[in-house]
Amino acid sequence: MPHAFRPFFLAILLTVPGLLLRFFPGQASPIVLAAFAGLAILGASFLLTWACEAGQLDMPQAVAIAVVALIAVLPEYAVDMYFTWMAGQHPQSSYSHFAIANMTGANRLLIGLGWSVLVLIFASRFHKGIRLRGEKRTEIFFLGLATLYALIIPLKGSLTWVDGLVLLGLYAWYMLIIVHRGIEDEPIEGPAAVLASMQPTRRKLCVFLLFLFSALVIAFNAEPFSENLVRSGKLLGVNEFLLVQWIAPIASEAPEFIISIMFAMRGNAGLALGSLLASKLNQWTLLVGMIPWVYAFSSQGLTPPMNLDSHQYQEILLTAAQSFFAIALVINLHLHKRQAVWLLLLFMGQFLAPLYEGPVAQLLGLQPDPLRFHRLYSWAYLFFGTCTVLRDRKYLLLLIRGFKG
């Protein structure tokens, strides 16, 4: 096989064990099934990413922006929508909690780890922060609107079809603007460049087959990955909620992280951070907006809403607060190394909170409260975000340009 096609071959190899175990599970343990299904989704995610990059060459502008934006996040959506659908089938089960866990974990990873590590890697190589292009004000503007609305959800204590309608409406509004903005002149590198160099007819066929194969792999592995991840938690004595929240998003987010880091190391960090910014907006509007609607279809009714408790609403609040802080940092279109360190430290603090919440409570003579640090970090994000917005308030009016595209 030619050297240029090795990445495709390796990605396809990652999917083979998951596909085989999907149809011939035998006596494999949940840990093995979850691992191979996760690797299959990871391999399909790489194939989707490369196909999306090359596919834009042969699509009309508006179609490319809309379709690629949806297909690129299919792995993350497949897992979350599976949990949401099962929650509608079994309203009193923990599936609704898993759906929120997967959604909040994916969103917080994207900013807390994705944005911060990207800036730190770029700064270590080029000794400066990352500057975004002016047109990224559109993403910042709509991410800000979605975040302000998301802060209301835990306050009113429900996630309903109305919330879904608002968030989906924001995403549709955003799409109507960017389809008139034009496709950015982004360099196609790596495996995607191999597809881009093909003769158009052959390239279209290869891209279509990659899309089809990846979609089938994800569809076949979403259920075994999700279910066996939960079973693995029970088998290992690990909190299933935490496994779903942090392990599940890794398979779908890893390709985008890796490609963004590669761009950053080549000096094109603005493009990489802009891509992660668009992904955050996509997840924070389309993904969250779809959850109550998928639940409604599954449960065959718009009422009652999903069965969520205070823990899930605190997760949403913490995720929205982190998003607010991140937006505040980039309203001037510049993310500095020092700011990336703060993003990373706050993320690691709340990520590791389950490990030190008990000892800290015991040391201070407090009653155990698993949500204590959720509230603490939520207020920290909101406080630092507000201070940053007040400091950089002169840039707020410039965000209106994002509304104009």
CATH number at residue 177: 1.20.1420.30
Q: Could you give the number of structural domains in the chain? A: 1
For the cut 70, the answer to whether the pLDDT of residue 20 exceeds it is yes
Number of C-beta neighbours around residue 369 at 10 A: 12
Per the model's pLDDT, the better-predicted residue between 219 and 379 turns out to be: 379
For the cut 80, the answer to whether the pLDDT of residue 239 exceeds it is yes
Rounded to two decimals, the pTM is 0.88
- Structural domain includes residue 364: no
Residues 71-128 have pLDDT tens digits of 667 777 888 999 999 999 999 889 999 999 999 999 999 999 999 999 999 988 888 8
For the cut 70, the answer to whether the pLDDT of residue 185 exceeds it is no
Whole-Å CA distances, 32 to 13, 98, 403: 16, 20, 48
**202 conformational bin, left if phi > 0, alpha if psi -120 to 50, beta if neither:** alpha
pLDDT band for position 170 (50/70/90)? very high
Inter-residue contact 287 to 146 (CB < 8 Å): no
For the cut 90, the answer to whether the pLDDT of residue 178 exceeds it is no
**For residues 193-211, average pLDDT:** 89
What is the DSSP track for 35-51? Answer: HHHHHHHHHHHHHHHHH
For the cut 90, the answer to whether the pLDDT of residue 51 exceeds it is no
- Structural domain includes residue 360: no
Query: Facing residues of 334 across strands?
Result: 131
**132 conformational bin, left if phi > 0, alpha if psi -120 to 50, beta if neither:** beta
Inter-residue contact 95 to 103 (CB < 8 Å): no
- Of 363, 28, 131, 94, the closest CA to residue 239 belongs to 94
The tokens describing 174, both together, are 């955003």
So what's the pLDDT on residue 370?
Answer: 84
- Structural domain includes residue 393: yes
- Structural domain includes residue 362: no
The tokens describing 266, both together, are 């080549």
As a 3-state breakdown, the chain gives helix, strand, coil percent values, each rounded to 5, of: 80, 0, 20
Residues 242-258 have pLDDT tens digits of 889 998 888 777 777 77
Residues 259-308 have pLDDT tens digits of 778 777 777 788 788 878 888 898 899 999 999 999 999 999 988 899 88
Inter-residue contact 298 to 85 (CB < 8 Å): yes
Inter-residue contact 47 to 213 (CB < 8 Å): yes
So what's the pLDDT on residue 22?
Answer: 84
The tokens describing 56, both together, are 């834009």
Structural domain span for residue 127? 3-352+370-403
Q: How many CA atoms lie within 13 A of 381 on its CB side?
A: 29
Mean pLDDT: which of 139-148, 190-199, 232-241 is highest? Answer: 139-148
- Structural domain includes residue 98: yes
- Structural domain includes residue 260: yes
- Structural domain includes residue 154: yes
- Structural domain includes residue 279: yes
